Structure 1
Amino acid sequence: MFRRATTLIVAVMLLVGLTVGARFLPVPYLVASPGLALNTIGEVEGDQVIQIEGEESYEHDGELAMVTVQYAGGPGTRMDMLTVLSAWLSPNESVLPEEALFPPDRSLEEITESQDMQMDDSQTAATAAALTELGIDYETRSVVMGVGEDMPASGELAEDDVITEVDGEPVAGKDETVELVADRDPGDPVELTVLRDGATEHVELTTTDDNGTAIIGIMVGNDMEFPFDVEIAVGEVGGPSAGMMFALGIMDRLSEESLTDGHTIAGSGTIEPNGTVGGVSGVEQKVVSAAEEGAEYFFVAEESCGQAQRSPASDEVDVVKIGELGDAVDALESIRNGDAPEDLPSC
């Protein structure tokens, strides 16, 4: 009897020790849980999320909500084993390796800066996509974002140079610039016309070889000049995944008629200036956020449909598959017309 009691006491102590150890043992995992939902055609602390200056804008009822994922853990704030195990068992949370968000070769400052830059780029792309969908013209310029060391452009081109012509042919963006420079054999010359500090310069370079492609060693980006100002304020949120909902929000603000007709629509997807909608991560948790917001529909990129279908809240919201911004506009029209959810393109 004494031996059995001793064994039981030791077992209980070991269990308690393991539980306590798990409670405080840090592990290199992240926990993803449903984050905030923010109405892009609404207000935050009394200010419009999307503000337009220089063009007439409108305010409508309804919601076009961007939804987010909240991550816990990471370098310096690692999760304990017990919390991670609990998240594994939760239908609304996901566990992923720390490296998924925090690559070991990048500092926290670099990651934060990248997220902020992606957010800024997504807002610019959303404005371009919205204006394109509305048929409003804007100007796109090809701008030098960086120059590689020991490359043909080194010492000849500089950041913020605006490339206006390649071999005398006008260019209106980075894609045209890259295509025209590459349209020759490596080693052939190329002449660029550049706008620098208000003055026009002509630069002749000899291309070099990059796996059979002619390059000059610059990183090029698009600088877009819009006919009016569009400002988007979402606080500390980063990343590119709200692009589609920003574009729809901008369109709603610029349209006399409401896009939602009072309905609550949530969604997540990146956006390109041409309107292409791309997939994002964390959609399982974002559908939960949408359901908690009371959304009737969730718009998602086609490539993210699998994630949406796995969400525990997928039966609470009608998930609509989106490939282009125009698809989202068509879906909103169907919703306004009272079409049945099954008539919309679903995942």
Structure 2
Amino acid sequence: MTERPSAPARRRSLFSRVSRRTAVTWASLLAMCSLLLVGLSIPVPYVVERPGPAIDVLGSYDGEKVITISGTEQHPTDGALMMTTVSVDGGPGYPVRAGEVVAAWFDPTQTVLPRELVFPAGQTKQETSLRNAADMTTSQQDAVAMALTELGIPFTREITIAGVLEGGPADGVLEPGDVVLAVDGETRSTAAEYQKLTRSAPAGQDIAMRIRRDGAEQDVAVPTESADGATRMGVVLAPGYDFPIDVKLAVAGVGGPSAGTMFALAVYDELTPGALTGGQKIAGTGTMNDAGEVGAIGGIRQKMVGARDEGATFFLAPAANCDHVVGHVPDGMSVVSVATFDDALQAVETIGSTGSAEGLPTCTS
């Protein structure tokens, strides 16, 4: 005769099996959550673009006046001409994690891009900083040149050191703003021609350069190294100018070339009587070359959001960026399409005198 377990014993057995199953389920869930958290914290090869600050170029930034002009009269003005910026995470030295990328995908004010579309493969944090600083310096110089050209003020062209790589061979020997007069006793008319001279020199040997710094000429011996099979000093050479007036633009910690158009407008405004903006808050973006052409930039959607958050109601957008503007204009903002400095100047003058962008070209007109 087979003895059957009592009812309490059967209940205890059932409870034990249920408890084990529950424990296994919870353990599995905890393990999955742990794996998910670890996965979300792993650095990934993407870049996240977020709205950055909009800076009034006619005002101050970090307690310092953005534009300072000496050697000629500087006129008081009003309103705001805002350069716009993008906060970029995921570049060299600033990795972005999977969790941040996932969150950015669901935020309409942010953009996720593969890193290789934004930064060259193998580029270091120091090289990125050098390029951003050099681009900012060059954009400022081109902006001043454009404003002076518009005002009929003559100046001369030259080749300058736009940036020096931190820890590179030329660090401590050359400085941003140095004017290049000769390399190994030879003169050239363009930055590219001087670069060809330096790259053809034997790597590891000093290059003799004659420069002008703070108005005084001097000879320096610049160390070199081999990088990617070429001789490198660790500097960026760029076209520069010798202006009859001194214009300083101070936006420490902000790099890149995209503020050129707003810099040019602000310098023009400071050098002419009256308020160009008519008291309006006008933001914008776009590179500016010495021919007066407004160039395309990245992150325009984030820049429009940043401008709106700072109270701008008008925005100047490069005509080449219109495809990225349509359908993404913040509520209450009027966007004007500009292709040249003259377009941008006319837009600001019209907005300043009428308080409206009516009749000006847009990205849909």
TM-score range, shorter chain: 0.7 to 0.9
Bigger CA radius of gyration:
2
Q: Distance in 1 between matches of 2:184 and 2:285?
A: 33
Q: 1:158 aligns with which of 175, 180, 183?
A: 183
Pairwise mapping of residues 193-232 of structure 1 onto structure 2 (< 5 A)? Answer: 222-232=239-249
- Structure 2 contact 70–247 (Cα < 8 Å) conserved: yes
Q: Name the SS for the 1:69 alignment partner.
A: strand
- Structure 2 contact 278–353 (Cα < 8 Å) conserved: no
Counterpart of 1:118 in structure 2: which amino acid? Answer: D
Post-superposition shift, 1:76?
A: 4.2
Q: Distance in 2 between matches of 1:101 and 1:160?
A: 38
- Find the counterpart in structure 1 of residue 348 from structure 2: 332
- Structure 1 contact 143–162 (Cα < 8 Å) conserved: no
Q: Name the SS for the 1:284 alignment partner.
A: helix
- Structure 1 contact 144–162 (Cα < 8 Å) conserved: no
Q: 2:322 aligns with which of 291, 305, 313?
A: 305
1:205-261 Cα shifts (integer Å, max 9, x gaps): xxxxxxxxxxxxxx9853312110100000111110000000011011101111101
Counterpart of 1:305 in structure 2: which amino acid? Answer: C
Q: Are 1:293 and 2:324 counterparts?
A: no
Q: Are 1:277 and 2:285 counterparts?
A: no
- Structure 2 contact 59–66 (Cα < 8 Å) conserved: yes
Counterpart of 2:346 in structure 1: which amino acid? Answer: D
- Find the counterpart in structure 2 of residue 321 from structure 1: 337
Q: Name the SS for the 1:337 alignment partner.
A: helix
- Find the counterpart in structure 2 of residue 257 from structure 1: 274
- Structure 2 contact 141–240 (Cα < 8 Å) conserved: no
- Structure 1 contact 144–161 (Cα < 8 Å) conserved: no
Q: Are 1:9 and 2:26 counterparts?
A: yes
Post-superposition shift, 1:69?
A: 0.3
Post-superposition shift, 1:308?
A: 2.2
Counterpart of 1:257 in structure 2: which amino acid? Answer: G
Pairwise mapping of residues 1-347 of structure 1 onto structure 2 (< 5 A)? Answer: 2=18, 5=22, 8-10=25-27, 12-141=29-158, 158=183, 163=188, 174=190, 222-311=239-328, 313-338=329-354, 340-347=356-363
Q: Give the stretch that moved more between structures: 17-26 or 328-337.
A: 17-26
Q: Distance in 1 between matches of 2:74 and 2:185?
A: 32
- Structure 2 contact 79–279 (Cα < 8 Å) conserved: yes
Unmatched 5+ residue regions in structure 1?
146-156, 164-172, 179-194, 200-218
Work out the percentage of aligned pairs sharing the same amino acid.
Answer: 36
What TM-score, normalized to structure 1? 0.75
